[in-house]
Chain A
Amino acid sequence: MRTLPGNTMNTFVPYPFTHFCAGLLLLFCLSAQAQPASGQQLQDVLIHLSQGAMSEREQAIKQLVELKDPRGLPILQALLAGKLLALKTENKLVIADGDDQNYAVRDAISDEPNGMVSAEQISKINLTNKLRGNLRKIIGELELNADSPAIRLAAVKAMDKDVDERLITLFQQRLTVEQDGKVKQAIQDILLLQKISGGDKNQRIQAINELKDHDSQDVFNKLKTLAEKDADGHYLETDSDIRNIAESAIASINNRLRLYSAIETVFFGLSLGAVLVLSAIGLAITFGVMGVINMAHGELMMIGAYTTYVIQQLMPNQLGLSIFLAIPAAFTLSALVGIAIERGIIRFLYGRPLETLLATFGVSLFLQQAVRSIFSPLNRSVATPEWMSGSWQINDFLSLTWNRFYILIFCLLVFVLLMQILKRTKLGLEVRAVAQNRRMAKAMGIPTARVDAMTFGLGSGIAGVAGVALSQITNVGPNLGQAYIVDSFMVVVFGGVGNLLGTLVAGFSLGIANKFLEPLAGAVLAKILVLVFIILFIQKRPRGLFPQKGRAADA
């Protein structure tokens, strides 16, 4: 973020500064020095910033603001963004432009390019929460008069907590010159909120009425303080009219809250369901269609997750792209491992489920330990691309996280694709034929052994793809698979063995049931209740939600 002359956030420049003195920087204005500080002064302050304890750092930030040098703001911004670095060799500060292993840096004071440095040559100037909070406020005040409305809006938002007299004056001043509608609205809301707590009665009532339909946490909290009682049971707010208006406003917000929380729970349930479906759907093919109890299914997911990690390591600057590349790569690798397991072990054990179970369990241990030996037993770090982090903030009370949202969509895509493969391709036809009646299919000239291998490969590949999704929400480590194998079997059995649609419905309904139970019973008990429910359900309907009918059921 270079500050070009002209396009300045020009709070440091003489003219606007005069009216700043009245407000925000009153404390620091005493010296009334408006021209840029000498390089030496700046240098001295920056030295303090890079060395010594956190309290000294706090002091240095204050001094930097006191200097009122136009070069101060970019330095503070860089500090907050974690891009202010100290060169170990030269005792000076630089600002990084990229955030890769090799930094292109420029001098913090002169703004001249300072070449490239590697991670070993620099040390980052650390901050604590307290400093970060202070800094955000300081920068907010400095940016309140910035040229870009977006920056001004962010500046207002950064200052909406702990509003005091000084800030109110500052906001009021800004309001007189503010052109942008959104910024204006934001400032007005903050000022209105302040009016609720005291002053003229009519103004207070008007403020409540204007704010009560906002889905804002601050408004809600403020209204709640109006309805609070002290230890003796007396209301803190003495005016009963205002109290009544506040109480009815709280009631209406509470109604909306209930709706939001229901929407939220359904979304949580769907996204948990999506993870369950993703991890179970590969199993629905190997277990459901082929009848193979594959205990190594979880480890095939683990392979998918590690593939994501490796690809990310290969292209550290292309996070988003690496995820997309990881999907086919994980599919291929897991499918190959799956085919190897089928050809090497399972095909000798068809029709002997117990032996298959033991053999694949052995394979799963083998794969886990292999990963431990290759990648170390420590978890590996898989970064999340920017567009998958954070949440879709609908209002203060309702927000949906992006990563879950994408995984939900991804799960549905995988499901539709898989259905199409089974319904419309030659492989799908053969798979269904072999599943229905192996001997008849063989008599019709279908190479059943090859179809078995391909089916197993398909199921394993899907597990690998699920691993890519899991790498975005949980640990990538040797134990990744174990955490999901039980749930996967549960979903497949509940949905009805051999029925893909059943797996989908089962996954989503278990997810939603779990999320509705969790707030009531706690996470531990919710899980137990869901398991008990499935046991009872299986007692009643041993073939699951969607049992196979007709001849297929006898095969």
Chain B
Amino acid sequence: MKNYLQVCKKWAVTVAVSACMLTTAHAEDTIKIGVLHSLSGTMAISETTLKDTMLMLIDEQNKKGGLLGKKLEAVVVDPASNWPLFAEKARELLTKDKVAAIFGCWTSVSRKSVLPVIEELNGILFYPVQYEGEESSKNVFYTGAAPNQQAIPAVDYLMNDLKVKRWVLAGTDYVYPRTTNKILEAYLKSKGVAKKDIMINYTPFGHSDWQSIVADIKKFGSAGKKTAVVSTINGDANVPFYKELGNQGVSAENIPVVAFSVGEEELSGIDTKPLVGHLAAWNYFMSVDTTKNAAFIKQWHDFIKNPKRVTNDPMEAHYIGFNMWVKAVEKAGKTDPDAVQKALIGVEFPNLTGGTAKMLPNHHISKPVLIGEIQDDGQFVTVWQTNKLVDGDAWSDFLPESKPIIADWTAPINCGNYNTKTKKCSGQNY
């Protein structure tokens, strides 16, 4: 027994020592990148893909010879769809692993939970998902769409091209839909839409019984005026929603639904028959025919070893974000967060659908806006797109309280929350 224990101890010591040596040896010639996406729990459905995307991008960069003469190394952690755990894992990445940048988060609540940590420890976070805006942190770079890069153009399209007169704003009951709908409602009213022509509806997470709501929408839409649904319904609740629409005979030709959270990845898991013709607004579609996009899709299929996997908008956001970070590090010549943050502003990188994305002083990027109709193969046909790139606006101009506020992380303002009327920075960093 004693012998056995001793052997154990010896083993443990050697393993520990060699592990230490390994990590120190590693730390010297690699640059670490944190990947903070849920691999288990409810959000795994969306975030696992982004983890794989990051691994692919890092792998590719290493094949090109790494960065600053060093190899890149991904540190993947699993925050398990648990919001407080996001903060803990971010702290672990920054203090223990000393990563140069973190790519991660999906839901707004997870980003909000990481914010204080990343600001305290002065890290860099690339956030790849469309979100509600009203935020700009010194340490966060928002590569997804702000409301003016997704929601507002979609409403413009419906209003001008489809001549929609009545509006249903349907969303899941949490911060992104609530804020987006607040902005949209203000925008619609500014365009002269009467209050009785706007119907706002919130449902709980994972809502599965849409019968009465769809019946209401149908009644609302049968008043003889063209009606559309602007959907900020999140994740799993979408499938039963569209199924119910189909079953109750609401077709995309009568009442089109434009969604901001339904992309190729979500469509690949559902029976698309009831969805054909409904719309989605994104900044990227897998179906966009450019050589860059074709190469990206091929690279993804080769990496994931499955030709049936799809690409989607947040993947492109990570692709742009990662490459911008690489350029900024090369420009700065080091991975020091302050230098990289400064270098990032103004960096340009071509996006996959044509045009060049630029990192703006408010830490958002410029993007094209595409509106597509869902086809029965789960892909989109682009029916409309902005003729030039749209700059991301951190603080919406359509809400009275955020109208005078801008974000500008260059001198002399250097503030994420600067009031142009009072000429003051609120002091709050985000």
Residues of A within 8 A of B (CB): 54, 82, 124, 126, 128-129, 132-133, 136, 217, 221, 224-225, 264-265, 268, 271-272, 275, 369, 372, 376-384, 389-391, 393, 396, 399, 401-404, 473-475, 477-479, 483, 514-515, 518-519, 522-524, 527
Q: How far is the CA of A225 from the CA of B223 in the complex (A)?
A: 10
Query: Contact between B243 and A384 (Cβ–Cβ < 8 Å)?
Result: yes
Flag if A391 contacts B247 (CB, 8 Å). Answer: yes
Residues of B within 8 A of A275 (CB): 209
Would you call B224 and A522 a contact (CB within 8 A)? no
In the complex, the chain B residue whose C-beta lies closest to that of A404 is: B211
With contact pairs A268-B215, A401-B211, A475-B236 given, residues A377 and B48 touching in the complex (Cβ less than 8 Å): yes
On whether A473 and B208 interact (CB within 8 A), knowing A124-B375, A524-B202, the answer reads yes
In the assembled complex, 16 residue pairs joining A and B whose CB atoms fall closer than 8 Å, in A order, are: A54-B383, A126-B375, A129-B373, A217-B222, A224-B224, A264-B215, A268-B212, A381-B271, A384-B243, A473-B208, A475-B239, A479-B42, A479-B206, A483-B208, A514-B209, A523-B207
Most chain B CB inside 10 Å of its own CB: which residue of A272, A514, A523:
A523
Q: Is B419 among interface residues, defined by CB-CB distance under 8 A?
A: no
Most buried by B among A369, A396, A401: A401
Residues on B close to A: CB < 8 A? Answer: 40, 42, 44-45, 48, 173, 201-204, 206-209, 211-213, 215-216, 222-224, 236, 239-240, 243-244, 246-249, 252-253, 256, 265-266, 268-274, 277, 373, 375-377, 381, 383
Contacting pair A272 B269 (CB below 8 A): no
Question: Which of B204, B223, B383 is A128 in contact with, Cβ under 8 Å?
Answer: B383
Are A515 and B173 in contact, CB atoms less than 8 angstroms apart?
no
Q: Pick the contact of B247: A378, A401, A519 (CB < 8 A).
A: A401
CB contacts (< 8 Å) of B203 on chain A: these are 523-524
Residues of chain A contacted by B45 (CB below 8 angstroms): 377-379, 477
Q: How far is the CB of A254 from chain B (nearest CB, A)?
A: 12
Taken together as a complex, chains A and B put the C-alpha atoms of A396 and B216 apart, in Å, by 14
State in angstroms the CA–CA spacing of A377 and B274 once bound together: 23
* Distance of A225 Cα from B375 Cα, bound (Å): 36
Instruction: Contacts A389-B273, A479-B206, A524-B173 known; list 12 others, CB within 8 Å.
Output: A126-B381, A128-B277, A136-B253, A381-B268, A381-B271, A401-B244, A402-B247, A404-B247, A473-B240, A479-B236, A515-B211, A522-B202
> Which of B201, B249, B277 is within 8 Å of A390, CB to CB?
B249
Residues of A contacting B216 with CB < 8 Å?
Answer: 519
Tell whether, in the assembled complex, residue A369 and residue B373 are in contact, meaning their CB atoms are under 8 Å apart.
no
Residues of B within 8 A of A390 (CB): 246-247, 249
CA distance A515 to B210 in the complex (A): 10
Chain A residues contacting B202 (CB-CB under 8 Å) are 522-524
Measured CA separation A132–B244 after assembly (Å)? 21
- With a cutoff of 8 Å between Cβ atoms, the chain B residues found around residue A382 in the complex are 271
Shortest CB-to-CB span from B85 to chain A, Å, is: 15
The 8 Å CB contact of A381, one of B215, B270, B377, is B270
Q: Is the CB of B247 within 8 A of A475?
A: no
- Complex contacts, B376 vs chain A, CB 8 Å: 82, 124
Judging by beta carbons under 8 Å apart, are A384 and B271 in contact? yes
Q: In whole Å, how far is B354's beta carbon from the nearest beta carbon of chain A?
A: 15
Are A515 and B269 in touch, CB under 8 angstroms?
Answer: no
Distance in angstroms between the alpha carbons of A429 and B216 in the assembled complex: 48
Closest to A525 in B: B202
Q: How far is the CA of A390 from the CA of B243 in the complex (A)?
A: 9
Tell me the minimal C-beta distance from A258 to chain B in angstroms.
Answer: 12
Q: Which B residues are CB-close (under 8 A) to A378?
A: 45, 265, 268-269
Task: Give A378 to B304 CA distance when docked, in angstroms.
Answer: 15
Residue in A376, A389, A474 whose beta carbon sits within 8 Å of that of B246 in the complex? A389
Min CB–CB distance A241 → chain B (angstroms): 23
Q: Which residues of B contact A478 (CB under 8 A)?
A: 44
A264: chain B residues at CB < 8 Å are: 215
Ordered nearest first, which 5 A-B pairs have the shortest CB separation? Answer: A379-B269, A377-B44, A221-B224, A401-B247, A268-B211
A399 touches B249 (CB 8 A): yes
Whether B256 and A129, one on each chain, are in contact in the complex, defined by CB atoms closer than 8 angstroms, is yes
In the assembly, what is the distance between CA of A381 and CA of B270, in Å? 4
Asked whether A129 lies within 8 Å of B253 as measured between CB atoms, the reply is yes
Instruction: Note all chain A residues with C-beta closer than 8 A to B268.
Output: 378, 381
State A523–B244 Cα separation when bound (angstroms).
16
Decide: B206 and A483 in contact? CB cutoff 8 A.
yes
B206 touches A369 (CB 8 A): no
Q: Determine the distance from Cα of A133 to Cα of B163 in the docked complex, in whole angstroms.
A: 15
Report the bound CA distance from A403 to B246 in whole Å.
Answer: 11
Is the beta-carbon distance between A391 and B211 smaller than 8 angstroms? no
Contacts A221-B223, A399-B249 known; A515 to B42 CB distance under 8 Å? no
Evaluate contact between A132 and B253: CB separation under 8 angstroms. Answer: yes
Contact A379 B239, CB 8 Å, known A225-B224, A474-B208, A475-B270:
yes
Contacts of A475 in B (CB 8 A): 208, 236, 239-240, 269-270
Q: A132 near B277 (CB under 8 angstroms)?
A: yes
Q: Residues of B contacting A519 with CB < 8 Å?
A: 212, 216
Chain B residues with CB under 8 A of A522: 201-202
Chain A residues closer than 8 Å to B204, beta-carbon distance: 523-524, 527
Q: Which residue of A lies closest to B272 (CB)?
A: A381
With CB as the reference atom, state the residue of chain B lying closest to A528. B204
Q: Looking at the complex, which one of B222, B248, B252 makes contact with A401 (CB distance below 8 Å)?
A: B248
A129 touches which of B247, B248, B272, B277 (Cβ 8 Å): B277
List chain A residues, Cβ under 8 A from B273.
383, 389
Q: Provide the bound-state CA to CA distance between A473 and B270, in Å.
A: 11
Inter-chain contact A372/B44, CB cutoff 8 Å: yes
Contact of B209 among A54, A133, A272, A383 (CB under 8 A): A272
Question: Within 8 Å CB of A473, what residues of B?
Answer: 208, 240, 243
A132–B251 Cα distance when bound, in Å, is 11
Given A275-B209, A372-B40, A384-B243; A124-B249 close (CB under 8 Å): no
| Chain A nearest Cβ from B394, distance in angstroms | 29
A522 to B247, CA, bound (A): 22
A124 surroundings in chain B (CB, below 8 A): 375-377
Residue of B nearest to A272 (CB): B209
Report the bound CA distance from A377 to B209 in whole Å.
Answer: 23
> Which residues of chain B have C-beta atoms less than 8 A from A272's C-beta?
209, 211
Cα A3 to Cα B138 with chains together (Å): 67
